[in-house]
Structure 1
Amino acid sequence: MRMNATGSDAERLVMEDLVNALLAEQFFLGLPDAELLSPEAWLATAPCRPVLQALRDCLGASLDQAYVFHWNCGEEVEGTIVFPLEPAIVQPYRFKAELGLYEASLDERHHVMLQKLGPKELMVRLRERYESQPGIIDPASLEQFLHMLEGTLLQTSWSLENELPEQVLSAPSSTAFLQAEKKAAFRDRPFHPVSKVKLGWGKDECRSYTVEYGGQITLHWMAVHRERLICGQPQAAAPMTLLLSEKERNPILEEMNEKGLDPESFVLLPVHPWQMENVLPGHLAKEIKEGICIPLRAQAGAFSATSSVRSLLPADAGSHHVKLPLGIRSLGGLRYLSAVKLMNGQRAEQLLRKAVEGDDVLNKRLFLCDETNWWAYLPENRDLFADSPRHLSALVRQYPAAWMEDPNIRLVPMSALAVCGRGEAGHLFDEWLALIGERRSESAIHQLLREVIQPFFDVCVRLFARGMMPEVHGQNAVLVWREGKIIGLLLRDHDSLRVHVPWLLGNGLEDPKYTLRPGVPESLYHQTPESLLSFFQMLGIHVNSYAIIECLSRHYGLGEDKLWQTLQECLEAAVSQATLAEEVQAVLQQELFGKATWPWKQIIRPLLKHHAKVPSSMPYGKGEAPNPFHAKARVFT
């Protein structure tokens, strides 16, 4: 199915995410000469004010029940920005980009004209408004953000030129996982207005290295002196053995022999082809000259990108995948793969496995990728926080081999459920219903939502009760689907497992003793359980679950309030059915259902502030949003 998209479709998607993020992070709140008109005030006021009447003439009856935001950022008429909103659940109001955001101007006859603004134009207007408050918008950071917006618009339009997979669950087992990853990539990180951009890549790189295009990537190889490596399992097989067949290994071994490289002294690390050509020659120039790191000519190993870009899936659908660093900037951070992240991920996995052992439900429902086979280059002084180790490393991620060989099992990232195309087979639920012989109906959609959300919430609540919370956005949480049923949840990318140590110790578990960069803020350790739970609220519900709800609402024409009700019932069941300590029960009840507000993950404000030039993961801040279980009653009654 082709998305049938154009550049304007890309702009609509980006604009909607941008304006809603700005609204949620309260960029428009408190602006002078700004007001939000209720539907009644709008109908009464519009005929008396030229700008509002012009908008009414432009959009007609579609505004009759809308709230209208009106911001006079210039002269009485010229420079006025106006756009319609609707009450929402996850935030007080949301913007629908199909209605547009407009700026007023006067023509030669002094008639009011409306120009639809795009994402970059809107940010320029905000810059002008906040120039007197440099602590909110740093000029250099805004220029970078505008560059990211420009790249996002381009790369989103390129992405939408490709085919959206029609089959995932009914695809052959050898291609189903790749199809699911491809589907997930079309939405990328939901609600993040610049998530799509990969700074440093143009169309050729996107065509070669992103999953939407469906091309294959052949691994490059670097021989690295063994003494300069740190690894997760010193006695484990080498990465080449895990990733390549004997036939694929032969040309590499022949070149090693030609160069006189002793296999006992050198380890062969896979390298992403773009990284080998564009990053490592500069970062490791001295090591390459001295023969510590030796790039090989031989290339071997056919892989495909996933929605994560730097995680690659084998063309033969085997169980060993590989994650490699990329020196590109995405989500506000470099996509490197540091030794520290790999070490912390291994410690987090050990902790998760101990938690699973001690809980019968987790033992049946939660599965983990093995992420203990990794290698990372270190400089001579063994500095874990130096720049070079981030750019030469490899993680061989092993999925349960029995699942990869089972023709009845499909692995589906939850993010694939946040994507739909046009037509009858646009959402994965359509395919699922067809396979189980169910007619498409509102009740059937709600039942499938329960099938997806209930095991997800069961796992998250039980892990929280033990003092830990994985980073459960839709890319990391993978559903295990077999013959029409979700039989479990598979987690990957363990390096962001957050913990509250007192609860770990109270459950007979231990502090994972993460290695942390001195003097740099981190979010792995949480002093309170409420702070730990906030990452489930922000990532597990606001990002992951709501992305699914929004997509289902759009595709099937269902009310968001009813979908939220189903979600609430699943969460209440997860809390009530788990055997929880009194303190855990009290925190969950108060934070999830009692409080009027929830934490909100800010993504725009951190990107627009001055920040240290230390490569890091995606910058974020915390704000507040309405409790969605309170707001759905407020909005729809």
Structure 2
Amino acid sequence: MSTEVSLSTGDAYGARPGTDSTEGELVIRVLSALLREDVVGLRTRSTLVHRADGAWLQRPDEQGGFLLLPVVEDGFQCEFAARLPLLVGESEKTAPVLHETCDEILGALRVLADPVDQDGFDGLAEECRQTLATMRLQASVRSDVAKRLTDRLGADPADWTGMTAGLAFDTLAAHLDHPVYPTARGRSGLTDDQLRAYAPEFHPRFELRWLAVPREAVTGTLPDGWPTPALLGLGEVDLTHVALPVHPLTLGAPLEGALRATGLADRAVLADRAHREVVPTLSMRTVALSADPLLHVKLPLVTATLGLRNQRTIKPGTLVDGAAGQRLIERVVAREPRFRDTILHADETVYTHAGHELLAALFRRYPAGLQDSVVVPMAALLAEAPGGRLVVDHLADRFYGGDPLALLDAWLALLFDWQTTLFCYGIALESHQQNTSLVLDRRADGRTRLRLLLKDNDGPRVNTARLRERLGEGLSERLGEQWGDDGPGARDFDDARTFGESDQPVVDLFTTITVHLCAGAYAFGLARHGRAPLPVLLRLVRDRLAEAVERLGTGAGEPGAVLRAQVLDSPRLPVKAMVTAGTLLTKERSGATDINKHYTTGPNYLLNTGDSV
């Protein structure tokens, strides 16, 4: 940020009368993300100025004028956030131009970008239009969806127990914005009718479609009791084919293209009959079977979320990696017995594919015994529950004496203990808010029991040097043979980016996922909702993380020393640059080897914790 300049006078701009509040909310999120990611130098090429109404960032344009962005101090991954849904063009030659919609703002920024990158701004503008339409559609049905949930499950979400009821929390979470990505509610290419029929925010039910594929073309296994071609009305191929589930949105041209690409167009048979009712989870492409709530099926979709390049298909290699990641984590738990009763994992070792990202399925089996537990994805904690209160408030009332800070304290203690222990082994997971659930119930003595339930173990980062050190010398190149036949190692993962010889990729993932999304986002969120002052909440996050770090040992080179230096005490922290890598720039232009692990930096809010709690 350039040197601060203070202006004694200056015109204050505000939004035009009648501005759509829904679009205004979206514009503020988009501007804040563009500022955080320093798109066209909004952060690093701007000067901070003060006018009568507050702070502005002033960036020179290409015609001798300025672009002005009204900002407010923030601190969560960026020093500032947008204060108003507004970008102003100022010039001595013309009257000020107010850009107030996403289209207008991205059009103004587009001309500042390199010509080879300008298509990305057009893509983001379309993404914003889709998201705005979805937000308006969600608002129109919100009360009806809430009524349906409470009619079936009751008025208090803290009483929604079991995996079936847990799907209602996914519905609530789908109405909430992502902590980082500004257009997360948008899904490219889908109509309003398709969203109503298949998206989690509407809590629909529908039946799967089925494709019979020759057995020899299929890799993997199917769950016990899975439908046969004969059951689906395809008795003529019952002995030669197996039935793959297909999401209804994948039918038509996408599926036909996949079959042609794999040479299966004349050999695979699409069943006319739909079968097995399902309910979408928060990820939309993953659905839960109504008749078997512990079984979720992840199916490829031809849409994108969290960036137009973030396609919701399923690359076969990710299925391999998810199973290998699960085995890796299970081996850690086996060596760390204190987590055997507190860290739960969905089983992701059963999957199948026919060699194409649209011909694949993961069969995720959740552990038994959750029927009396409240299972809440972390993504739903700050969502509005029926009646208007936050989900976290309902849970705090039932399990923590009405104190949401006590609930936060409990999950931070377990979360950081678990994730820092993984760091000792050189492991960090993509266990973000959607992939981590709180499991709450009461013990026989009446005390609250809190556990974590994790899923989606593909995409970790592993420091092989630290993993080798932790598991002992003599490990083979495979990094698994000392663990036994089921010990996973580098050769068991399809993604070569998983393993490296340094802490940095592991620290980056630990910080951006565990610290930012599963801890910091709740400190800022609870403060925004008035549950406690921000310094108090940040002190709680820092104290619990510091306690976990101290347990690792803080001598030179030890895991605790690395986390203390690079997370607790570092002036800046890695921050996901999701808009840049996901939509604005090609991988060649951004340099991103993984669009979900492409970073910029932001201020370390853990250094601004005020007095201890």
If the length of structure 2 is used for normalisation, what is the TM-score? 0.83
Alignment of 1:46-57 (within 5 A): 46=51, 56=52
Report the Cα distance in structure 2 between the residues aligned to 1:291 and 1:218, rounded to whole angstroms. 25
Counterpart for residue 532 of structure 1: 506
Q: Distance in 2 between matches of 1:148 and 1:226?
A: 40
Name the counterpart of 1:176. Answer: 165
User: Residue 12 and residue 543 in structure 1: after superposition, are their counterparts in 2 closer, same or farther (change >3 A)?
Assistant: farther
What's 1:334 paired with?
311
**Does residue 400 of the first structure (1) align with residue 367 of the second (2)?**
yes
| Counterpart contact for 2:162–2:374, Cα < 8 Å | yes
Report SS of the residue matched to 1:269.
Answer: strand
**Deviation of 1:358 (Å):** 0.4
Counterpart of 1:562?
536
C-alpha separation in 2, matches of 1:576 and 1:193:
35
Q: Secondary structure at the match of 1:496?
A: coil
Tell me if 1:496 matches 2:459.
yes
C-alpha distance 196-116 of structure 1, shift in aligned 2 (>3 A): same
Q: Measure the CA separation in 2 of the matches of 1:350 and 1:7.
A: 52
Match of 1:308 in 2: 283
Residue of structure 2 in register with 1:59 after alignment: none
Partner of 2:344: 367
Return the match for 2:401 from 438, 461, 468. Answer: 438
The residue correspondences of 1:560-599 to structure 2 (distance < 5 A) are: 560-577=534-551, 583-599=558-574
Q: 1:286 to 1:552 in 2, by over 3 A?
A: closer
- Give the conservation status (yes or no) of the 8 Å contact 1:188–1:307: no
Cα displacement string for residues 297-337 of structure 1 (whole angstroms, at most 9, x for unaligned residues):
11111111111011111224621111101121222321111
- 1:346 and 1:494 in contact (8 A); partners too: yes
Q: How far does residue 477 in structure 1 lie from its aligned partner after superposition? A: 1.0
Following superposition, the deviation at residue 197 of structure 1 comes to 1.9
Separation in 1, partners of 2:137, 2:117: 30
Picking from 520, 526, 544, the partner of 1:552 is: 526
Give SS of 2:341's match.
helix
The 1:122–1:304 alpha-carbon spacing in structure 2 relative to 1, beyond 3 Å, is: same
What does residue 491 of structure 2 align with? 513
1:32/1:227 CA distance change after superposition, 3 Å: closer
Q: Structure 1 residue aligned with 2:112, among 119, 125, 129?
A: 129
- 5+ residue gaps, structure 1, are 1-5, 47-55, 57-62, 379-388
Match of 2:133 in 1: 154
Separation in structure 2 between the aligned mates of residue 173 and residue 593 of structure 1, nearest angstrom:
37
Question: How big is the shift at 1:598?
Answer: 1.3
Aligned pair 1:27/2:39, yes or no?
A: yes
For residues 14 and 486 of structure 1, the distance between their equivalents in structure 2, rounded to whole angstroms, comes to 38
Q: 1:556 to 1:330 in 2, by over 3 A?
A: same
2:283 match: secondary structure: coil
Q: RCO greater where, 1 or 2, for CA within 8 Å and sep 6 or more?
A: 1
Match of 1:94 in 2: 81
Q: Which moved more, 1:86-95 or 1:449-458?
A: 86-95
Letter in 2 for 1:144: G
CA separation of 1:286/1:129 partners in 2, compared to 1, >3 Å: closer, same or farther? closer
CA contact (8 A) 2:38 2:44 kept: no
| Equivalent-residue separation in structure 2 for 1:546 and 1:530 (angstroms) | 20
CA distance in 2, matches of 1:308, 1:177: 14
Quickly say closer, same or farther: Cα 1:159–1:549, change in 2 above 3 A.
Answer: farther
Q: CA deviation at 1:562?
A: 1.6
> For the Cα contact (< 8 Å) 1:479–1:486, is it kept in 2?
no
1:70 aligns with 2:58: yes
- After superposition, the C-alpha distances for 1:413-455 in whole angstroms (9 at most, x for unaligned) are 11111323696x421122123324834xxxx232121122221
| Aligned ranges 1:257-272 → 2 under 5 Å | 257=235, 260-263=236-239, 265-272=240-247
Q: Which amino acid aligns with 2:104?
A: E
Structure 1 residues 254 and 459, CA gap change in structure 2 (3 angstroms): closer
2:206 maps to 1:217: yes
Query: Between the two proteins, what is the percent identity of the paired residues?
Result: 22
Q: Match for 1:149: what amino acid?
A: C
2:363 partner letter = V
Query: Residue 138 of structure 1: SS of its match in structure 2?
Result: helix
Is 1:420 paired with 2:396? Answer: no
Q: Where is the helix percentage greater, Structure 1 or Structure 2?
A: 1
The residue type equivalent to 2:183 in the other structure is: V
Q: Would the aligned equivalents of 2:302 and 2:313 in 1 still touch at CA under 8 Å?
A: yes
Task: Note the 1:459-474 alignment, pairs <5 A.
Answer: 459-474=418-433
Match of 1:626 among 578, 603, 608: 603
In 1, Cα distance between equivalents of 2:514 and 2:418? 11
1:544 CA drift (Å): 3.0
CA distance in structure 2 between the partners assigned to 1:276 and 1:570 by the alignment: 48
Question: Shift of the alpha carbon at 1:550?
Answer: 2.8
| Cα offset, 1:7, TM superposition | 9.4
For residues 285 and 155 of structure 1, the distance between their equivalents in structure 2, rounded to whole angstroms, comes to 33
SS in 2 for 1:319: strand
Matched, 1:241 2:217: no
Contact between 2:76 and 2:520, CA under 8 Å: does it hold in 1? Answer: no
Tell me the number of residue pairs that the alignment of Structure 1 and Structure 2 aligns.
Answer: 561
* TM-score in terms of structure 1 length: 0.80
**2:323 paired residue number:** 346
Task: Give the distance between the partners of 1:547 and 1:317, measured in 2 at CA.
Answer: 33
Given candidates 121, 145, 162, the residue that maps to 2:124 is 145
Which amino acid is 1:393 matched to? A
1:483-503 deviations in whole A, cap 9, x for unaligned?
Answer: 373532111011112211112
Aligned pairs for 1:95-114 (under 5 A) are: 95-96=82-83, 99-103=84-88
What amino acid sits opposite 2:302 in the alignment? Answer: G
Provide structure 2 residue ranges, at least 5 long, that are not aligned to the other structure: 1-17, 150-154, 472-478, 481-488
1:413 touches 1:478 (CA, 8 Å); kept in 2? yes
Q: What amino acid sits opposite 2:171 in the alignment? A: K
Instruction: State whether residues 362 and 462 of structure 1, in contact with CA within 8 Å, keep that contact through their aligned partners in structure 2.
Output: no
Is 1:411 matched with 2:375?
yes
> SS state of the match for residue 189, structure 1?
coil
1:253 and 1:317 mapped to 2: Cα distance? 18
CA contact (8 A) 2:259 2:265 kept: no
Task: Give how far 1:128 is off.
Answer: 1.6
The question of whether the paired residues in 2 share the 8 Å contact of 1:337 and 1:391 is answered with: yes
For 2:234, the equivalent position in structure 1 comes to 256
In 2, the alpha carbon distance for the partners of 1:205 and 1:211 equals 11
Q: Please give the alpha-carbon distance, in whole angstroms, between the structure 1 residues aligned to 2:559 and 2:89.
A: 53
User: 420, 426, 447: which is aligned to 2:406?
Assistant: 447
In structure 2, C-alpha distance between the alignment counterparts of 1:156 and 1:286, rounded to whole Å:
36
Residue by residue over 1:148-187, the C-alpha shift from the partner in whole angstroms, topping out at 9 and shown as x without a partner, is: 1221221222223333566432125464211111122122
Deviates more, 1:413-422 or 1:201-210: 413-422
Counterpart CA distance in 2 for 1:549 and 1:113 is 38
CA distance in 1, matches of 2:359, 2:208: 13
